[in-house]
Structure 1
Amino acid sequence: MICKESFFRIIRKPHSSEKASSLVNKNNTIVLKVAKNANKKDIFLAIEKIFEVKIKRINTLIVKGKIKKKNKNHGENWKKAYITLQKGQNVNFINGSE
């Protein structure tokens, strides 16, 4: 059994963008930034335990970090998860910026 503390290490924060907010309204899909080493099964368990919702589908992708021209440094890569909830389920986040 995975402890609840490890669930909070998997889920970093909600991702707010224009596309993410439209997905919430249209498809009942939330977008989260998650740990890079987390797989779909870990994300599934964490979301169900923390938010107590039923999940229909999870899609994940790795977003490549941007190159900063001044120092020629790369931003860090991060993982994004699109979580589609079943009908009648919703997750309310506090509105705010990242």
Structure 2
Amino acid sequence: MHITNVIKKPILSEKTYRNMASGVYTFEVAITANKVQIKKAFETIFEVKVAKVNIINYDPKEKKMGKFVGETKYTKRAIITLKPGEQLDLLGENK
């Protein structure tokens, strides 16, 4: 898997925004990616040092739309903790 296909998009919510102050970032990643690939891709793309990577797998949930039944998609999220002193300007606030 190519390094640019590992990290898909950041997850921005109240909880993740609160964690950004302490150097913890949450991203949606490719389903086939593992912790080593995620760490390598993150360090290469954003040029920061990663302390640890935690992964959460979200299984599909059944959703109904009238009489039709479908499922949400399977997703994988990575919670990335940066080493002390490292900072990522994800929202472009420091210009």
Does the alignment reach a TM-score above 0.5?
A: yes
Counterpart of 1:17 in structure 2 is 13
Moved over 2 A (4+): 64-67
Displacement after TM superposition at 1:7 (Å) = 1.4
TM-score by length of 1: 0.84
Counterpart of 1:51 in structure 2 is 46
Counterpart of 1:93 in structure 2 is 90
TM-score by length of 2: 0.87
Identity %: 32
Tell me the SS of whatever aligns to 2:52.
Answer: strand
RMSD: 1.5
The structure in which a higher percent of residues are strand is 2
- Structure showing greater Rg: 2
The structure in which a higher percent of residues are helix is 1
Structure 1 stretches lacking a partner, 5+ long: none
Structure 2 stretches lacking a partner, 5+ long: none
